[in-house]
Amino acid sequence: MTSPRRTFAIISHPDAGKTTLTEKLLVAGGAIHLAGEVKARGQNRRARSDWMKIEQQRGISVTSSVMTFERDGITFNLLDTPGHEDFSEDTYRTLTAVDSAVMVIDAAKGIEPQTRKLFEVCRLRSVPIITFVNKVDREGRPVFELLDEIADMLALDVCPMSWPIGMGGEFEGVMELATGKVSRPEGDSRTFQGKIDTGVTLSDKITEEIELAGIGYPTFDAEAYRNGDLTPVYFGSALKDFGVTDLIDALADYAPPPRPQPAEPAPVSPDEPDVTGFIFKVQANMDPNHRDRIAFMRLCSGTFKRGMKLTPSGSGKPIAVHSPILFFAQNREIADEAFPGDIIGIPNHGTLRVGDTLAEKPGVRFTGLPNFAPEILRRVILKDPTKTKQLRKALDDMAEEGVTQVFYPEIGSNWIIGVVGQLQLEVLLSRLDAEYKVAAGLEHAPFDTARWVSADEAADLKAFTDINRAAMAKDRDGNPVFLAKTAWEVGYVADRYPKVKFAATRER
Ligand code: GDP
């Protein structure tokens, strides 16, 4: 009998406390014994690869990873999403591989831009969200104001599950609203994990707040939460280890186990016996000495066993998965078995691509992994023309990883790359140099945005592309892309060609 799975991600704005919370979750799950190891491990890994210097310089984490911990018989798979403002498609795609998310909010700041962006991605897929309002040990904004902001800005019902008794200097603990049990700070560092329910005298102000909260917000409704219409809200302090176990209990009690996944010809239920999964991330050159890459697969159905043959939808040629990797907090372990909701890493030499379905019996195809319209386009200028082949390989590799998108114009020889955030441009140049030994520069492209074009009738598409040849390009897979100067131009052209569809994302 396998243990239940909870596969989730943490979404937050930088500095809200995601790293600290991750550490505390892993400690609580017994995965690591000393807080701080998450960062230490990260540094170790960073040292291995040149391009990751950018991470070091900026003190940010560009790569995502997978961490697993267990508690009370439940296996938690935590997929880390990069937390920097300039995030890539990687971040979005990671969210397609989870069943729920924890949204971490800084009590002093409320909803910040990136929290909101990531939340919108969750909403697209109805990913249910548990909210953790962090840093209550510091002076924060009034609790009602925070709750109302979440409700208004995200158009979501909020249901406080706990209540902070004061914040900052006046912080006296957190009350679990359903039971009235209070966790209080203890000792010099004022941390506390357990709960006590005696001897608590609340000030009139807090008593009144709690009464008002009982009237003003909906009661918890598990179904509304699972549909993504309501978020239960917990208050705590990752740093002081307050409310962290409550959060794990909430994930255990309410967060959905692996859900059926959207697929063609029909959604795939986790109970189906045949093994299926999809690749949501590919990481190349984790070790510059080995041109290997790891494809991250989310298992959607069946029991995966080591050595099993799976057929990728991309190449159609079965591969035997002999050395899959399960990602544990301390080190990678070779997986013998994995279950729906688990993530396994599959080493390969470029055969596996983001968006690929892998299946024991071919014929299934998971849908809904989007390619996003790039927000920044740049022309790639090659300094040494004899390196064209290497450049093409590098751009294709990175497109495959989802670091950048690449467009090959119909006219002209300068390839164009598209990214969602500025940081990706730096990553690209640094990796071209370090991993592919290609010196290149970037210059402004005459275009600012891209749309994938299609039409029901081939003739309609041809009529469009013939006239707009100077703005046409092909993506890495040969799909036609229209490059435009502005979003306004896209609208203008779309009006003139009603039979052509312009898509900002391309589902793979
Ligand atoms: P991330 O960017 O979201 O991963 O944030 P970090 O976990 O790195 O935290 C950002 C800063 O906030 C660090 O200096 C943390 O020590 C601090 N921090 C995190 N959680 C808390 C908390 O509960 N209380 C206080 N006072 N500081 C916190």
* pLDDT tens track, the chain, 508 positions: 567 999 999 999 989 999 889 888 888 876 554 433 344 444 444 333 333 444 444 333 334 468 888 888 898 999 877 655 555 567 778 888 999 999 999 999 999 988 888 888 888 788 999 999 999 999 999 999 999 999 999 999 999 999 999 888 888 889 999 988 888 888 777 777 666 766 667 888 889 999 999 899 999 999 999 999 999 999 999 999 899 999 999 999 999 999 999 898 999 999 999 999 999 888 765 555 555 678 889 999 999 998 999 999 877 889 999 888 776 544 445 667 899 999 988 888 878 888 889 999 988 989 876 656 677 899 999 988 899 999 998 998 888 777 788 999 998 878 999 887 777 788 888 888 888 899 999 999 889 888 999 999 999 999 999 999 999 999 888 899 999 988 889 989 999 999 999 987 665 5
CA R_g for the chain: 24
The tokens for 486 are 């502005």
Ligand 1 centroid vs 190 CA: distance in angstroms? Answer: 16
Ligand 1: does its nearest atom lie under 6 Å from the Cβ of 12? yes
Instruction: List Cβ neighbours of 124 (8 Å cut-off, separation of 6 or more).
Output: none
Residue among 10, 11, 12, 15 to mutate when testing ligand 1 (max atoms within 8 A of CB): 15
| 272, 366 contact by CB (below 8 A) | no
CATH, range 370-507: 3.30.70.3280
316 C-beta neighbours (distance < 10 Å), count? 8
Ligand 1: does its nearest atom lie under 6 Å from the Cβ of 83? yes
Q: Give residue 98's pLDDT.
A: 95
- How far, rounded to the nearest angstrom, does the alpha carbon of residue 468 sit from its chain's CA centroid? 36
Q: Give residue 423's pLDDT.
A: 72
422 C-beta neighbours (distance < 10 Å), count? 11
Ligand 1 centroid vs 17 CA: distance in angstroms? Answer: 4
Ligand 1: does its nearest atom lie under 6 Å from the Cβ of 311? no
Of ligand 1's atoms, which has the minimum distance to the CA of residue 22? 7
The tokens for 39 are 């960062």
DSSP letter at 107 equals T
Q: What is each CA distance from 166 to 105, 350, 408, in whole angstroms?
A: 17, 54, 58
Model pTM greater than 0.90?
Answer: no
- How far, rounded to the nearest angstrom, does the alpha carbon of residue 211 sit from its chain's CA centroid? 37
Ligand 1: does its nearest atom lie under 6 Å from the Cβ of 301? no
Ligand 1 centroid vs 285 CA: distance in angstroms? Answer: 31
Ligand 1 centroid vs 184 CA: distance in angstroms? Answer: 20
Please list the residue range(s) of the chain that carry CATH number 3.30.70.3280. Answer: 370-507
Q: Give residue 468's pLDDT.
A: 93
Ligand 1 centroid vs 151 CA: distance in angstroms? Answer: 24
Please list the residue range(s) of the chain that carry CATH number 3.40.50.300. Answer: 5-67+77-254, 263-366
Ligand 1: does its nearest atom lie under 6 Å from the Cβ of 134? yes
What's the start-to-end Cα distance of the chain, in Å? 34
For residue 265, say if its preceding peptide bond is cis, omega within 30 degrees of 0. Answer: yes
Q: Give residue 199's pLDDT.
A: 62
The tokens for 271 are 């109970």
Ligand 1 centroid vs 425 CA: distance in angstroms? Answer: 28
Of ligand 1's atoms, which has the minimum distance to the CA of residue 20? 7
DSSP letter at 68 equals E
DSSP letter at 391 equals H
SS3 content of the chain, % helix, strand, coil (to 5): 30, 30, 40
Nearest Cα residue to atom 11 of ligand 1: 15
- Cα–Cα distance between 474 and 392 in angstroms, integer? 13
Ligand 1 centroid vs 237 CA: distance in angstroms? Answer: 9
Superfamily of domain 5-67+77-254: P-loop containing nucleotide triphosphate hydrolases (3.40.50.300)
- Cα–Cα distance between 66 and 10 in angstroms, integer? 12
| 235, 107 contact by CB (below 8 A) | yes
Residue among 20, 61, 137, 247 to mutate when testing ligand 1 (max atoms within 8 A of CB): 20
Q: Give residue 458's pLDDT.
A: 94
| 384, 443 contact by CB (below 8 A) | no
Does 82 carry a binding-site annotation?
Answer: yes
Nearest Cα residue to atom 21 of ligand 1: 239
Ligand 1 centroid vs 64 CA: distance in angstroms? Answer: 19
Nearest Cα residue to atom 16 of ligand 1: 239
| 365, 264 contact by CB (below 8 A) | yes
| 267, 246 contact by CB (below 8 A) | no
The dihedral built from the CA positions of residue 465, 469, 475 and 477, taken in this order, carries a sign that is positive
Ligand 1: does its nearest atom lie under 6 Å from the Cβ of 168? no
Decide: helix, strand or coil at residue 277: strand
Ligand 1: does its nearest atom lie under 6 Å from the Cβ of 58? no
Ligand 1: does its nearest atom lie under 6 Å from the Cβ of 61? no
Instruction: List Cβ neighbours of 303 (8 Å cut-off, separation of 6 or more).
Output: 2, 275, 337, 338, 339
- Cα–Cα distance between 407 and 395 in angstroms, integer? 9
- CATH fold group of domain 263-366: Rossmann fold (3.40.50)
